[in-house]
Amino acid sequence: MLAILRTVGMLLALLLATAASLAGERAIIVLDASGSMWGQIGGKPKLEIARETLRTVLKTIPADMELGLIAYGHREKGSCEDIELVVPPATGTAATIIDAAEKMRFLGKTPLTAAVRQAAESLRFTEEKSTVILITDGLETCNADPCALATELEQGGVDFTAHVVGFGLSEEEGRQVACLAENTGGKYLPAADAGQLTDALEQVVQAEPAPAPQPAPEPAPDFNFAPSATMSEGGPELGRDDNLVWEVYAANADGLRGENVVTDYYGGWKGRLEPGDYIVNARLDHAAVEQKVTIEPDKVATPHFVLDAGRLVIRARASEGAEIAGNASINVRYPGDGDTTYYGEMKAAFPAGEQILTIKLGDGAVTETIALKAGQTIEKDVIVGVGHAVVNALYAAGGDRVDSGNMFTRIFKAKKKIDGTREELSYAYGPDAAFDLPAGDYVALVAMDQAAVEQPFSIKVGERQDVTAVLDAGVLAISAPGAKYIEVSGAAKDIQGNRKQFGYAFAETHQTTLPAGDYAVSAERGDPAVKTEAPATVKAGERTEITVP
């Protein structure tokens, strides 16, 4: 999970860095908000990975870059018209885009070609240089040709470029959308290509970089600055293999930091500085110490830095003897109001003192307080205490499995509250819905369209529980040529003469999953509307096709 998250983050960072390497550029992110984004990678929905990536990466864009957001598939199921310019391109939109992604629903189709066209038009691609960044986990589902569109935009644009992130696409699927980038001079980057991306990122100018240091002087035979650092007073000196960061700043007249002079990255570093006063900061992971250093002519300064820190090595496991849980979050609140989060396993230095650890895995959580002394290394396995449930559904006992991404699973505690309701813990879309849960009794509410069933189950720490819910339902496929509205109702009427509605569609066709039973299907045509009706019987585990005359 962590590897995928980092890879996607680096992909988006590369594209934004590529798009933003020139200040003042205009770009739009086109975000796939279709229902398939509820699919999981490493036990975590892809949409959550995308949201976390946006939260991280958008903090790095230049202040004068005009950035916008277009989403598709976020408001309606089954609509090829569901495309919206959520955030128009403007400067300072990072927070707005992040907030919009956080609130977005993911449920529709994938009209990516039309969405890219709308993005290009919003950027006035025939008049100005413009860039579109498409993030998609699926292929075009609305009968459009992305390759043809790319050629059209390239020929008609002033300087148009499209970049594409293929999120979880196979190699073959990637080739079908890569043409959007290739035909416009952009980049296609599959989310699995982490190694090559890392190399590329090292060569990319990040957004709003710190001023580049002056070219290094020719190698000198000597040095005049040789700092040293230890974790604790009298402790062993940190060496080349320690990820120590030295930051040297010119000292202002008020004694505070001025311009950054040089930064280096290992213990035992020796350098040459011009005579004068400096502020030097030594940092190892989350522990740092700073002091003033004066460089005198023809003398070597040898300041010593005591970080007053220790190391924590924490491994999160679901249960005793289990593998490291890579999707478990390890949050540490450390002295000085510091706060950081790792995943799966953490190896880092922290200021000495009280460390408050909160480890979460699914719906399980444990909090520990560790007193860390300077120079001390504490290594510990933290057991969250959860079991693993995987939920699937069958249309009928012994029948076909529900493989639709629209299958919706909600997990509740089995015990009801005093008002008769249950506490909801988690939810997921699609088959093989995975949940990490503390030991106890639960109820899975599994729904597919109009059919739903509750399935009780129990979890033990360290055990996997395969939960199968039987919907006792079938699929009804309706055709009503020329109709503008289709409605499905129960065949039986209540005492008031009304029927229970089981869904509708503003279309000539409609397909839905329904509990086994009898139904009445109506269709409206013309203006004024003329209503016709046909009966339908749905059998568990079977597909029924009808035509409403």
Q: Tell the residue number behind the tokens 């039987």, with chain if given.
A: 470
Give yes or no: residues 496 and 451 share one domain: no
- Residues 74, 184, single domain; the answer is yes
**Domain that includes residue 129, residue range:** 2-201
Q: Is residue 46 part of a domain?
A: yes
Higher pLDDT, 347 or 217: 347
CATH of the domain at 244: 2.60.40
What are residue 461's phi and psi, to 5 degrees?
-60, 130
Amino acid symbol at 526: G
Longest dimension (CA), the chain: 102
Give the mean model confidence (pLDDT) for residues 494-520: 95
**Claim to verify: residue 24 and residue 172 sit in the same structural domain:** yes
- What's residue 271's pLDDT? 92
The model's pLDDT over 94-123, given as tens digits with 9 standing for 90+, comes to 888 888 888 888 788 889 899 899 988 988
Q: What is the mean pLDDT of residues 74-91?
A: 88
Instruction: Quote the number of domains for the chain.
Output: 5
**109 vs 32, 41, 93, 446, CA distance in Å?**
9, 20, 26, 22
pLDDT the model gives residue 209: 45
Using alpha carbons, select from 259, 264, 278, 249 the residue that is nearest to residue 216. 264
Q: Is the pLDDT of residue 392 over 90?
A: yes
Q: What is the mean pLDDT of the chain?
A: 87
pLDDT value of position 55: 82
Q: Is residue 214 part of a domain?
A: no
**Domain presence at residue 212:** no
> Following DSSP, what letter does each residue of 41-70 receive, concatenated?
ETTEEHHHHHHHHHHHHGGGS-TT-EEEEE
Judge whether 220 lies within some domain. no
Helix (H, G, I), strand (E, B) or coil at 179: helix
Residue 215 domain-assigned? no
Average pLDDT of the residues in 258-283? 92
Per-residue pLDDT, averaged over 482-505, amounts to: 94
Shared domain check, 161 and 15: yes
Question: Of 442, 470, 498, which residue sits at a domain end?
Answer: 470
Q: Find the helix or strand (DSSP H, E) in which 172 lies.
A: helix 171-182
- pTM as predicted: 0.56
Strands 304-306 and 353-361: unpaired
Is the same domain home to 326 and 464?
A: no
The domain boundary residue, chosen from 362, 383, 404: 383
Nearest to 88 by CA among 58, 115, 119, 116: 119
Query: Could you tell me if 370 and 400 lie in one domain?
Result: no
Q: Is residue 207 part of a domain?
A: no
What amino acid is encoded at 438 in this protein? P
Residue with the bigger pLDDT between 49 and 446: it is: 446
102, two tokens:
């956080």
Q: What is the pLDDT of residue 32?
A: 86
Is residue 211 situated within a structural domain?
Answer: no
CATH of the domain at 442: 2.60.40.10
Whether 170 and 238 share a structural domain: no
CATH number at residue 82: 3.40.50.410
What is the rounded average pLDDT of the residues 375-396? 97
pLDDT exceeds 80 at position 304: yes
Q: How many residues does the chain have?
A: 549
Is the same domain home to 195 and 76?
yes
Predicted confidence at residue 204, as pLDDT, reads 29
**CA torsion sign, 175 to 176 to 180 to 183?**
positive
Is 256 within 8 Å of 270 (Cβ atoms)?
no
Cα 377 to Cα 372: distance, rounded to the nearest angstrom: 8
- Please, are residues 317 and 324 in contact by the beta-carbon 8 Å criterion? yes
Does residue 440 sit in the same domain as residue 322? no
| Residues 456 and 495 placed together within one structural domain of the fold | no
Q: What is the pLDDT of residues 134-170, one digit of tens each?
A: 888 888 889 889 899 889 888 888 888 888 888 777 7
Taking phi first (over 0 means left), then psi (-120 to 50 degrees means alpha), and beta for anything else, what does residue 276 get?
left
Least confident of 94-98, 165-169, 288-292, 339-343: 165-169
The verdict on residue 209 lying in a domain is no
Beta-sheet strands, E only, within 143-302: 159-166, 188-190, 228-230, 244-251, 257-264, 276-284, 287-295
**Residues in a beta bridge with 434:** 390
Same-domain pairing of 376 and 406:
no
* Last residue within a domain, chosen from 470, 501, 523: 470
Q: To the nearest 5 percent, what fractions of the chain are helix, strand and coil?
A: 15, 45, 40
Q: Report yes or no: 51 and 102 within 8 Å, Cβ to Cβ.
A: yes
**Both structure tokens of 437:** 């849960």
pLDDT tens digits, one per residue of 3-39: 444 544 554 555 555 544 444 578 899 988 887 887 7
pLDDT at position 201 is 30
User: How confident is the model over 335-343, as a mean pLDDT?
Assistant: 95
> pLDDT band at residue 258, thresholds of 50, 70 and 90?
very high
DSSP run (H or E) holding 26: strand 26-32
Output the domain CATH number for residue 339.
Answer: 2.60.40.1120
Residue 180 and residue 70 share a domain: yes
